Structure 1
Amino acid sequence: MRRTTIPTPRWRRPRTALVAAVLAVSLTVAGGSAWALDRFVIEHVEIRDVDAYETAQTTDATTTASTATPEDTAATEATLTDTTYESDDASIALSTVITGTGESTVTYYVADVVLSDATVLRSAFAQNAFGTNITETTSDIAADNDAVFAINGDYYGFRDTGIVIRNGVAYRDEGARQGLAFYTDGRVEVYNETTTTAEELLADGVWNTLSFGPALLEDGQVVAGVDEVEVDTNVGNHSIQGDQPRTAVGVLDTNHLVFVVVDGRSPGYSAGATMTELAEIMQDLGATTAYNLDGGGSSTMVFDGAVVNQPSQGRERGTSDILYVAG
């Protein structure tokens, strides 16, 4: 190996200046690490007891909302076969769909849900707390809330923007993107968060909002450009494009919803779906409006205490929230 000798310069930076420069670089790196930890790892709890907070808010509000009493259930892993659930509050029909062959095989799970009332579909936060970076698995949050059916939500806790209304209570009012609003009268609509406020949405009867996206279907048609949308551009976010595990919700009729979880990153079992392919799945199921939720390792469906899909990491990934129907 040829070695090149660099001549020693005739002048030399004072040692103190050199130390100061090194220290400045070190502090910059350390500061960046500290910022990243604070932004993406360290829990920031804004509301410690969400159940109590929602009870207080709904008691004081002019409009009322139903509340559920959490009871613990055990979550296990299971292979889902076509099955149904019936109660006075909801009718749920679950099925597994497998399409394609070989490495192009796609496996997804469908839950057709009819609600007696829009408020039967509820949301719950990880650890019963609101804030950023607070996580718990979908099955554990479901068990905490006696859910017979649940899917992962929008992972609101990854970001500090977006309008967050859950179970008729406003938690955040920082409009930033295209959201989805569930109304107490059974309507479900895509809306622009930046043109309204949480207060106005509550006054119009919004029960839950989701802030992720993009919208997949509007008026039954695939939204143009869905494969080019980036939900977040902040540090630490990964692209949501290409073949990925997916979670989506669609509207079939008033108080009639369809939820889909597509498994992915496992060629031969399920390669995942692009955003357009997800939209087409929702369209084939008869949805007129459909919206993309957090996917990747978060995509999880729970039914009757069991994780029915195969999360891409080989286990459930912690998330910040779920949508569920109580048993």
Structure 2
Amino acid sequence: MQVMQQESTTLPSRSSARKGSGANKRKRKNKRRKGGFLRFVGRMITVMMLLGGVAMIWLFFTPSGNNVRFLMADTLITTQHRHWAKYIIGQAELDKRVAAYQKSFDDMGTEKDTHTITLPSQEEDEETQEEKPLIEVEEVSGTGYHGYVLTVNDPTKIRLGVPAKRGKGEKVSSMVARTGAVAGVNGGGFADPNWKGNGFKPIGVVISQGKLYYNGISKNASTQVVGLDKQGKMIAGKYTLDELDKLGIQEAVTFQPRIIVNGKGQIRSQKEGWGIAPRTAMGQREDGAILFVIIDGRQPGYSIGASLYDVQQIMLDHGAVIAANLDGGSSSVLVKEGGDIVNKPSSEYGERYLPTAFLVFEDPEKVDIPNIWEGLRPQDIDAGKK
């Protein structure tokens, strides 16, 4: 009896056996699940690697892939991350591409502009004239982009605004509110070291109210300008300061390229459109009205941006006979009376501080725009000082 009792105590109960069996089943089930998940992850990695390999072959070894690759590079070239483009096309190709575009831009500025404008005659009976507002704002959109066209029906109402204080640029919304302008658009470029510039050191020249406010070029050098003469005719192209003086230049900044000359588009296709980016451009119709195109960008789901070819086509569709590019990227902004921003600037830090803006006034003769660069030499201005 004692032996039987001892042996019986060593046998597991039925409930214990069932518990052990259930635990083993759960372990095997969990193991299968874990193995299945790992196999799934492995397959996904393999598929992604295969797709990545196919994509790389397509990008580097097919004509359509090369087009996409260069479009990506051109888009980066127009941003503050230009150096990243070398990882897509290589440093040598990047340097070659930038040089080719620069030569193309220079060539666009050499054709003689012969366009004329016909402003309403002051002797015309006012009752027979169609009443037009000073400014009109229209939304525009296309493949991948959204933006605005600002039409200024009287070009003589435009003045070039500059910052109020030395040492730092000014937001266009602040310029508009401070001066009482009815609208404002960003103007020329500026020195931007490490993309942290203070917006106070312009590139090239700045001319406001017929006076040279800033000169960053040598005496006999030429520069690509965008601006207006005393009669409200748009001036765009490559000129020396003496030539600009003879043309009676009134308001101007340095920027490029000119994209429409004598009613003809200079950019032949999207391939030459200098990538996709936020854009600002200025143009003029035969009736004298000035067109500003402002395109938002770098905002997926809303607007990625436009090429210069896109902007050129918008200008042509609106009747421009001359047009030129202005500073774009995170500088692109359209502001209405009171300082209200119309578009959606792309900078994550908000509206940028800039050295110049084209401002529209009901009565520009009463506006005081002092020269804050007077007495300063370009070499004495620290573009990165906060």
Q: TM-score range by the shorter chain?
A: 0.5 to 0.7
TM superposition score normalised by structure 2:
0.52
Correspondence for 1:190: 236
8 Å contact 1:142–1:322 — kept in the other structure? Answer: no
After the TM superposition, which of the residue ranges 219-228 and 267-276 deviates more from structure 2?
219-228
2:150 is the alignment partner of 1:111? yes
Correspondence for 1:244: 277
Q: 1:89 to 1:144 in 2, by over 3 A?
A: farther
- The secondary structure found in structure 2 opposite 1:242 is coil
8 Å contact 2:186–2:334 — kept in the other structure? Answer: yes
Correspondence for 1:326: 361
Q: Which has the higher helix share?
A: 2
2:324 is the alignment partner of 1:282? no
Superposed CA offset, 1:60-118 (max 9, x none)? xxxxxxxxxxxxxxxxxxxxxxxxxxxx9961111112333xxx3x1111111111x62
Question: Match for 2:134 among 83, 87, 91?
Answer: 91
- The secondary structure found in structure 2 opposite 1:276 is helix
Correspondence for 1:211: 254
After the TM superposition, which of the residue ranges 171-180 and 263-272 deviates more from structure 2?
171-180
TM superposition score normalised by structure 1:
0.60
- The secondary structure found in structure 2 opposite 1:192 is strand
8 Å contact 1:181–1:191 — kept in the other structure? Answer: no
Amino acid at match of 1:114: N
Correspondence for 1:259: 292
Superposed, 1:19-38 pairs within 5 Å as none
Superposed CA offset, 1:220-264 (max 9, x none)? 2221479899xxxxxxxxxx9311000111101253111110000
8 Å contact 1:217–1:288 — kept in the other structure? Answer: yes
Correspondence for 2:244: 201
Give 1:134 shift: 2.5
Correspondence for 2:209: 167
Correspondence for 2:265: 222
8 Å contact 2:188–2:202 — kept in the other structure? Answer: no
Amino acid at match of 1:135: G
Superposed CA offset, 1:186-232 (max 9, x none)? 22122313xx22x5523432101121111111122221479899xxx
Alpha-carbon separation, structure 2, partners of 1:320 and 1:179: 15
Unaligned ranges ≥5, structure 1: 1-87, 230-239
Q: 1:157 to 1:90 in 2, by over 3 A?
A: farther
Structure index of larger Rg: 2
Alpha-carbon separation, structure 1, partners of 2:139 and 2:276: 19
Give 1:176 shift: 4.8
Correspondence for 1:294: 327
Q: 1:303 to 1:225 in 2, by over 3 A?
A: same
Correspondence for 2:25: none
8 Å contact 2:237–2:258 — kept in the other structure? Answer: no
Give 1:302 shift: 0.3
Alpha-carbon separation, structure 2, partners of 1:200 and 1:215: 17
2:316 is the alignment partner of 1:273? no
8 Å contact 1:215–1:226 — kept in the other structure? Answer: no
Amino acid at match of 1:163: V
Superposed, 1:61-140 pairs within 5 Å as 91-100=134-143, 104=144, 106-115=145-154, 118=156, 120-129=157-166, 134-140=168-174
Alpha-carbon separation, structure 2, partners of 1:114 and 1:124: 19
8 Å contact 1:134–1:157 — kept in the other structure? Answer: no
Unaligned ranges ≥5, structure 2: 1-130, 193-200, 363-386
User: When the two structures are aligned, how many residues end up with a matched partner?
Assistant: 218
Alpha-carbon separation, structure 2, partners of 1:89 and 1:246: 27
- The secondary structure found in structure 2 opposite 1:97 is strand
